[in-house]
Amino acid sequence: MAVPRSEYLSNVWADGIFANRVLFITGGAGSICSAQTRALVHLGANACIIGRSVEKTEAAAKQIALVRPGSKVIGIGGVDVRNFDLLKAAADRCVSELGAIDYVIAGAAGNFIAPISSLSPNAFKTVIDIDTLGTYNTIKATIPHLVASAKGNPRSPSRFLSISATFHYTGMPLQAHVSAAKAAVDSLMGSLALEYGPLGVTANSLAPGAIAGTEGMQRLASSELTAEESAAGIPSGRWGTVRDIADATVFLMSDAGGYVNGTTMVVDGAGWRRQGGVAVGLDTGMEYPGFLLRGEISKNLKDGRKEAKL
């Protein structure tokens, strides 16, 4: 059964705006990336979703394809974004089976709660490798196809979109690894926009805030907090939804976003403006800097450090 449109896409978008276009997305089986893919497929695109787990990726592809009769969604599992050769093979397969790559989303990421005092060099390197190196490898594997697409569609630029974060804007306790990785990702988008804008490719970052129901927030926000407590530090008064991110993605990929290049779109309800109020890794009553001085971190978080990450 297909996921209802209301969960991943607003009613403001016209059907068919992405007809005959192809999306290549890493981490495509994840909660945010699958919503982005559903939105573009619903509006006419076909897609290749890339992930480490063969079973999970192929199952997600079949489920996403249900949003539009006649859509083609290919799940390519067994691909670690840290391995360029595997990514290149996936990109080449996507073009062989679907005819092109017009849009790319680099969404594969890894995260967990850790203070610097207990963050090992290997753990830090792992997040840099997945987020930063993985994004670079995705660029290298897909950019020739994006340039080819742009040549064939001179009035509609190809798109490269990375999924970033906002922690590095102000700094965030317990997130030094992700802050460093995403700062580098944002910098990559600036260089990509400068080098490939003249060839018809736009490059931007999309930075979600706290998004309800996602794997990421299960690892960052205590399950003991109520929704009201969790959202207390967000000026808009709520966590975001995957639809908020999917709608922003549709805008950036559409003709309406064709002149947006080399920048970051923040979709977080202004949460980054007062990140000290966001309860990353905290329970009720745990306030900065006391929790750090006492060495306290919430034990009510999903621990994904021993799990394979896309």
Active site residues: 164, 182
Q: Taking a C-beta distance cutoff of 8 angstroms, is the pair 90, 54 a contact? A: no
List, in sequence order, the alpha helices (H) in the chain.
31-42, 54-64, 84-98, 121-127, 134-152, 167-170, 176-196, 215-220, 227-230, 242-253, 290-293
Instruction: Give me the phi and psi of 244, to 5 degrees please.
Output: -55, -40
Tell me how far the alpha carbon of residue 246 is from its chain's centroid: 10
104: helix, strand or coil: strand
- Which pairs with CB-CB distance under 8 Å and at least 24 residues apart come from 128-133? 128/177, 128/180, 128/181, 128/184, 129/82, 130/81, 130/82, 130/181, 130/309, 131/178, 131/181, 131/182, 131/184, 131/185, 132/181, 132/184, 132/185, 132/188, 133/81, 133/82
The CB density around residue 5, as the number of other CB atoms within 10 Å, is 15
